[in-house]
Amino acid sequence: MNKITFTIDGQACTAEAGQTILEAARANGIYIPSLCWFEGMKPAGSCRICTVRAGGRYMAACTQPVSEQMVIENMAPDLEDMRKALVEMLFVEGNHMCPTCEKSGNCELQALAYRYQMLVPRFPYDFPVRRVEPAGPKILLEHNRCIKCLRCVRGVKAKDGRRVFGALRRGGRKKIAVDLSLAAALSDRRAREAMDRCPVGSILKKEVGFIVPVGKRKYDATPIGSDLRKAEG
């Protein structure tokens, strides 16, 4: 198969034809920050955290296929600041009380905020009115923390392949809905998968909250994406 050659921030990289910029970057040991992307799942390109620049144009690295001789900017300061702004926006659009959150320490949104050392968002807090939805015996849905990434809608399926989650309404009023009977029938393994699909603490498996002690959680000691940088060095 033909290899494509391209560069990211000046570093020479190779990719298989048809790979997206984000997949190709990771295969080359380069981290492009992402949030709504989930390995092995069809990308949605909705959060825009993975925005890169090529030929002066901005594109979502998770949906854009890489092409021959592409010159990609990833870590340019203005791109990084734009990503940080997106993270800050997600914080003020929901109600993120990290001290009370079961996902704290393992949350991808929080991990990005740590990576960018967000001390305070530049935008005013919205304090939207949202609910906690007890979704049967296995999981609960904490709408206050949902960032509408649709990872659950795209990826969480019941045994027979039916979708467990769906999206209601559009734009700022978008809301995740759950099929209560399918959610109740989830096996423990699938309920755990549903929780892991959710980048934040919006889908929670019941009775396992706060199970990992502070200090041992995924992003306590090292920033998100550092596993890739290690592979590179």
Partner 1 sequence: MSKPVIATASLAGCFGCHMSILDIDERILDLVELVEFNKSPVDDIKTFTKPVDVGIIEGGCSNSENVEVLRAFRKNCKILISLGECAIMGGLPAMRNGIPVRECLEEAYHRCPTIDPFDPKIIPDDPDLPIILDRVYPLHEIVKIDAFLPGCPPSADLIWKALTSLLQGKPLVLPYALVKFD
Q: Which of 153, 151, 58, 62 is nearest to 109 (CA)?
A: 151
Q: What is the DSSP letter of 161?
A: S
Backbone angles phi, psi at 57, to 5 degrees: -110, 145
Among 41, 97, 132, 231, interactor with partner 1 by CB under 8 A: 97
> Which of the listed partners (partner 1, ligand SF4, none) does 150 bind, with a CB threshold of 5 to 8 Å by partner kind?
ligand SF4
DSSP string across 100-126? G-TTTTT-HHHHHHHHTT-SS-SS---
Does 199 bind partner 1 (CB under 8 A)? Our answer is no
CB of 81 to partner 1, least distance (A): 17
Binders of ligand SF4 in range 182-201 (CB under 6 A): 197-201
> Which of the listed partners (ligand SF4, partner 1, none) does 24 bind, with a CB threshold of 5 to 8 Å by partner kind?
none
Q: Which of 163, 168, 139, 136 is nearest to 152 (CA)?
A: 163
Residue type, 2: N
> Which of the listed partners (partner 1, ligand SF4, none) does 151 bind, with a CB threshold of 5 to 8 Å by partner kind?
ligand SF4
> Which of the listed partners (partner 1, ligand SF4, none) does 67 bind, with a CB threshold of 5 to 8 Å by partner kind?
none
Residue closer to partner 1, measured from CB, 118 or 185? 118
Among 82, 98, 153, 185, interactor with partner 1 by CB under 8 A: 98
Contacts with 103 (C-beta within 8 Å, 6 or more apart), sequence order: 110, 145, 198, 200, 201, 204
Longest dimension (CA), the chain: 53
Does 110 bind partner 1 (CB under 8 A)? Our answer is yes
Does 1 bind partner 1 (CB under 8 A)? Our answer is no
Residue closer to partner 1, measured from CB, 124 or 171? 124
> Do 81 and 179 meet the contact criterion of CB atoms below 8 Å apart?
no
CB of 206 to partner 1, least distance (A): 21
